[in-house]
Structure 1
């Protein structure tokens, strides 16, 4: 077994693709409209699906707002230089909701950003 993807429902697919692809540097791996079901699936990631876990962005046509809920935590991304990454993302208009620094009760530098839908994404400094 291996992890294939994580699915996130999005309010605006174009806005979400801009965030994940243009701002975070992921690639749009595939996208398919399902007119009968009135939804679109777009898969984004840093590498081919056969070798990497990816994110599935699901846009349900006619739906423009979701409740994230209290059970959702975050998606985590490893970065080489968390301070420079956050500075670069801010320049691209990304909302940094927790500035980089050591995690509470630990030493690993982390930060949190937010996607256009309000989903939190943790950035973790890789050693």
Structure 2
């Protein structure tokens, strides 16, 4: 599998508009494409920081008519995003009402400065401060 690469991670979302706003406006990703599948009663929207040809992206799957919240399960961990200024990023997100279950700070055993936020469906996203990309 020499030339294989990770294409996307898929998560199910209850309110697609709210999720698209979160990932594009608040996290700065681009909406790359969006397609309705009427015969399957679902919509797929792909978001990311780069194009799908060269970057790993997130597939947001919205199943039409989903009334209840999804069970996030106990096997899913989190998505991770590198940011240049974790404290400033968290300050902006907090003002927007984004839950921050772990405030920015160094990891317990030294090393990286991290924080955890939650998207509109409760998925955990780890922010890792990366000054140089």
TM over 0.5: yes
Is 1:30 the counterpart of 2:22 in the alignment? no
Structure 2 Cα separation of the partners of residues 19 and 95 of structure 1: 12
Structure 2 Cα separation of the partners of residues 27 and 97 of structure 1: 25
* TM-score, scaled to structure 1: 0.96
Equivalent pairs, count: 127
Structure 2 Cα separation of the partners of residues 75 and 49 of structure 1: 17
**Gap runs ≥5 in structure 1:** none
Structure 2 Cα separation of the partners of residues 126 and 22 of structure 1: 20
In the other structure, the counterpart of 2:61 is 58
Provide the aligned C-alpha RMSD in A: 1.0
Structure 1 Cα separation of the partners of residues 14 and 108 of structure 2: 32
* TM-score, scaled to structure 2: 0.92
- Report runs of 4+ in structure 1 exceeding 6 Å deviation: none
Aligned residues of 1:23 and 1:94 also touching (Cα < 8 A): no
**Gap runs ≥5 in structure 2:** none
In the other structure, the counterpart of 1:108 is 112
- Name which of 35, 39, 46 aligns with 2:42: 39
Give 1 or 2: higher strand fraction: 1
In the other structure, the counterpart of 2:5 is 2
